[in-house]
Amino acid sequence: MFGAKGSGDTSGYGGLVAPIVYPGQAERPYGGWYDVVADSIDGLVERVVIHRGEITFHVAREHVREVLQRLRDDQRFEFCAGVDGVHYPDDTGRELHAVYSLLSMTFNRRIRVETSTPDDDRHLPSGVAIYPTLDWHEREAWDFFGIVFDGHPALTRIQMPDDWPGHPQRKDYPLGGIPVEYKGGTVPPPDQRRSYS
């Protein structure tokens, strides 16, 4: 747009790079109910981050199902609002992240559980058996990021066509230039179109 060519840089300035600063690890005591929740999953957490008043528990992928189960059963986080995929290509060995947003309606508390997987082994355990709401969210994370949720009842694409190559929300996915074919889509004549007035 502004003269950048071949770099994949969408800023338009041909190489504008802003440093990424991640929030640091929190130290105990975390304060209030955060410590009670942390105690219930003690030994399964790699690190805890508290940023802008919100707590995130980082866990290894082999422990994510147990952590979700304990949080639901012991701490009354009854609702999982979904799982979001994130691609950090520079986070070597942990390129793909999955972030679960949990809500305790009983106590009006919100937390996040985050896990990661390397790009060359994109497998995470499915949480659908614990939180059925994860069904479509895990399909979306697979569709857009390529995270394979082992044990999912029907891990198929949810928004992209079944034959779509790649996973379009990854940062290494090409920007533009992808030929798109609309199968079966028609535009009715003007006199048959729906009126919005």
In sequence order, the 6+-apart residues with CB closer than 8 A to the CB of 115 are 58, 59, 60, 61, 64, 97, 98, 124
Domain 33-161 maps to which CATH number in 3.10.20.30, 3.30.460.80, 3.40.1160.10, 3.40.50.300?
A: 3.30.460.80
Q: Maximum CA pair distance of the chain?
A: 68
pLDDT computed for residue 36 by the predictor: 96
Say which range, 84-88, 145-149, 171-175, has the weakest mean pLDDT: 171-175
- Per-residue confidence at 18, pLDDT binned at 50, 70, 90? low
Mean pLDDT check: name the lowest of 94-108, 116-130, 149-163: 149-163
> Model pTM?
0.82
Bigger pLDDT: 99 or 165?
A: 99
Q: Is the pLDDT of residue 1 over 50?
A: no
Q: Which pLDDT value is given to residue 173? A: 86
Q: What's the confidence (pLDDT) of residue 22?
A: 82
Reply yes or no on whether the pLDDT at 24 is more than 60. Answer: yes
Residue 57 C-alpha from the chain's centroid: 14
Of 4-13, 22-31, 85-94, the one with minimum mean pLDDT is 4-13
What is the rounded distance in angstroms from the CA atom of residue 67 to the CA atom of residue 63? 6
> Would you place residue 101 in the very low, low, confident or very high pLDDT band (cuts 50, 70, 90)?
very high
Burial readout 51-82 (b: 16 or more C-beta within 10 A, e: otherwise): eeeebbbbbebebbbebbebbbeebebeebeb
- Who has greater pLDDT, 130 or 186? 130
Average pLDDT for residues 38-48, to the nearest whole number? 96
pLDDT at position 179 = 65
How would residue 14 be classed by pLDDT, with cut points 50, 70 and 90? Answer: low
CA 86 remoteness from chain centre: 5
Stretch (H or E) spanning 180: none
Residue 8 has pLDDT above 90, yes or no: no
